[in-house]
Amino acid sequence: MRFTLLDRVTAIDPGKSITAIKTLTLSEEYLADHFPRFPVMPGVLMLESMTQAAAWTIRLGEDFAHSIVVLRSAKNVKYGDFVEPGKVLTVNAEVLSQEGALTKVKATGTVGGRTSLTARLVLERYNLADRMAHGDALDARIRSEMRKLWAVLHPAGRGAGHARPVVYGTAVGAAPSPLGSAASSYRQGESMPGAGKAPAISPPLDGMVSAG
C-alpha cells in the first residue's frame, strides 16, 4: 500500500533540513478503529510522516539520484500530545550525518507549538537496478512519480525560470551539505530541474521501526 502522510512542505534546505505539515481529518478511514470514541492519529503513522519528510530532503539534496529511500531504524522515539482531527502536525527533520547509503536524521513533530513526537531516524537510499535485473526501468518510473508528487507537495518550487546551479545544498562559501554530492540549488520560488515531471512516496514502514 502506498500513501502520503504529508499535505505540504513549507520549507526545505535540500540535503540538510525540511519542515512539512500534516492536517488530520475525521474522514481518514483508520480513525474509525483508532479509536471509535477517541479518534487520534496512530503513533506509527506520526512516525511515518517524519520518515517521509526526511526522505524528501534526502531526495532533493541529490536531485532524485536514488529511487528508493526507506526507514532502516527509529531510535529514542518519544510521544507527547495526541494529534486529533482538525489539528495540524508540523514535522521538522534535520540531517545529522551521512555514511555511505545511510543518512542519520533528527526529527520532531509538534501540534500547536507543543511537542508530539521526537525521534532519531536512519534512512537508507538505493536504486532497484543495483538489486534486481531490469530494475532501471522501475527506477525511472519511481523517480518520475516522485517528481510529480514533489510538485504537489511544494508548488512554490514550480516558479518560472531555471534553477541556478551551485554546489549541492550549499551557498557560496558555506559548509558542504551532509550528503556532500553535486546537484542543483533549490530555493523558495525557483523551479527545480525537472519540476514539471514526477515524484513519489516512501514505502510503508512494514514493521521496520525499532523504537529504542
The separation between CA 101 and the C-alpha centre of its own chain, rounded to angstroms, equals 16
Instruction: Round to whole Å and give the CA distance between 162 and 124.
Output: 30
What are the Cα distances from residue 103, in Å, to 4, 9, 30, 165, 179? 21, 20, 30, 24, 8
Q: Which three cell numbers stand for residue 167?
A: 554546489
Within 13 A of 208's CA, how many CA atoms are on the CB side?
15
Q: Is residue 190 part of a domain?
A: no
Nearest C-alpha neighbor of 60 from the set 14, 127, 123? 14
Tally the C-alpha atoms within 13 A of residue 108's C-alpha that lie toward its C-beta: 7
- Give the model confidence (pLDDT) of 52-107 as tens digits: 999 999 999 999 999 999 999 999 999 999 999 999 999 999 999 999 999 999 99
Residue 208 domain flag: no
Is residue 150 assigned to a domain?
Answer: yes
In a domain, 184, yes or no: no
DSSP percent split of the chain into helix, strand, coil, nearest 5: 25, 30, 50
CATH number of the domain where residue 97 is located = 3.10.129.10
Name residue 20's beta-bridge partners. 9, 91
Domain count, the chain: 1
Q: Residue 156 — very low, low, confident or very high, per pLDDT cuts 50/70/90? A: confident
Task: Write down the pLDDT at residue 157.
Answer: 66
Catalytic residue among 34, 66, 154, 162: 34
For the segment 102-122, what is each residue's pLDDT rounded down to a tens digit? 999 999 999 999 999 999 999
Distance CA 139, CA 85 (A): 36
34 is an active site residue: yes
Residue 165 lies in a domain: no
Tell me whether residue 198 is in a domain. no
Residues 211, 190: Cα–Cα separation, whole Å:
38
pTM of the model: 0.74
Residue 123 lies in a domain: yes
Q: How do 68-79 and 88-99 pair as beta strands?
A: unpaired
pLDDT tens profile 157-199: 654 333 333 333 333 344 444 454 433 334 444 444 444 444 4
Can you give the residue range of the structural domain that contains 98?
A: 8-158
Indicate whether 142 belongs to any domain. yes
The counts of H helices and E strands in the chain are: 2, 6
